[in-house]
Amino acid sequence: MLRTLIVDDERLARRELRRLLEPHGAVTVAGEAANADAAEAAVHEENPDLLLLDVQMPGDSGFDLLTRLDAVPHVVFVTAYDEYAIRAFKVNALDYLVKPVEPERLAQAIETVQARAAEDGPQAAGAGDEESRSPLAAEDQVFVKDGERCWFVRLADVRLFEAAGNYTRLYFDGEEPLTHRSLSYLEERLDPDRFFRASRQHILNLRWVADVTPWATDKLKATLEDGTEVELSRRRSRAFREQLSL
């Protein structure tokens, strides 16, 4: 069952999507939102599996909403743009629907989401209250927007996080975008069994570490699978040895 949140500033558009979803027994509408603020609150409260998300809304856009979430559910964009304009966003969303939405295209999009959900398992949405702020798992999906380029990326695919002032640079699949989250914020949210704070500048994805060697006095150097070398501070080298029983 896909718990779905409809996000569109047009009331008639939301009503039409509800109507089109009625024949799909595997989909239940968990709620609606008319803007990014209401949608963010609804995501935290309802923890949906799927967002049917309008791209352009008054105030913050659908992209802006996604940058607010620590982890995002599956997303299908709903837009007035044509295919070529959507491609210009360079967003690897699961699918997109062009308004007015055709029943056949909606059915195809739902099938795509169901197939991905079966592969990935449940998607966790970023929770708003402290009690439910569980660590972000490696299989969680995050949204990164850097300038005009956007990405959906699994945390498992991010091999390295690097501090860049109050921002953080993510390294994955040959890409190096900046996210507005600080390295300290990410350290608090990332699963400590999978992600290791190597120094003031870096967080490592342990699954990407190919080799660890002594480096200088009481220090270690980690080499990632792509050849990137990261020096661990003395304090973090000690913590690394203790965590991995080295």
- pLDDT mean over 67-77: 91
Q: Is the pLDDT of residue 20 over 80?
A: yes
Give the amino acid at 136: L
- The kind and range of the H/E element at 67 are helix 62-68
CATH 3.90.226.10 is the classification of domain 2-120: no
What tokens does 218 get? 């009481």
Kindly indicate the confidence band of residue 103, based on its pLDDT and cuts at 50, 70 and 90. very high
Residue 176 CA to residue 159 CA, distance in Å, equals 11
Task: Please state the domain extents for the chain.
Answer: 2-120, 153-243
User: What would you report as the CA-atom Rg of the chain, rounded to the nearest whole angstrom?
Assistant: 20
State which H helix or E strand residue 109 sits in: helix 103-120
What is the model's pLDDT at position 217?
86
Q: Give the model's pLDDT for residue 127.
A: 40
CA distance 148 to 138: 26
The strand pairing partners of 169, in sequence order, are 162, 178
Residue 216 confidence (pLDDT) above 70: yes
Distance CA 121, CA 130 (A): 24
Task: State the pLDDT confidence band at 130, using cuts at 50, 70 and 90.
Answer: very low
Q: What is the DSSP letter of 137?
A: P
pLDDT of residue 118: 82
Mean pLDDT of 187-199: 95
Task: Check if the beta carbon of residue 151 is closer than 8 Å to that of residue 215.
Answer: no
The CA angle 65-116-142, to the nearest 5 degrees, is 30
- Predicted pLDDT at 245: 74
- Would you say the C-alpha torsion 225, 227, 228, 234 has a positive or negative sign? positive
* Mean pLDDT value of segment 82-86: 59
Asked whether residue 89 carries a pLDDT value surpassing 70, the answer given is no
pLDDT tens per residue across span 139-187: 899 999 888 788 889 999 999 999 999 999 999 999 999 999 999 999 9
Asked if pLDDT for residue 113 goes beyond 60, the answer is: yes
* The predicted structure's pLDDT at residue 171: 97
Residue 131 pLDDT level (bands cut at 50, 70, 90): very low
Q: What is the mean pLDDT of residues 55-83?
A: 88
Under 8 Å between Cβ of 59 and 36 = yes
> Confidence class of residue 49 from pLDDT cuts 50, 70 and 90?
very high
**Concatenated DSSP letters of 162-214:** EEETTEEEEEBTTB--EESS-HHHHHHHB-TTTEEE-SSSEEEEGGGEEEEEE
Q: What is the model's pTM?
A: 0.82
Mean pLDDT (the chain, rounded): 88
Architecture per CATH, 153-243:
Beta Barrel (2.40)
Q: What is the pLDDT of residue 101?
A: 94
The candidate with the shortest Cα–Cα distance to 78, out of 57, 54, 49, 111, is 54
Counting residues of the chain whose pLDDT is more than 70, the rounded percentage is 89
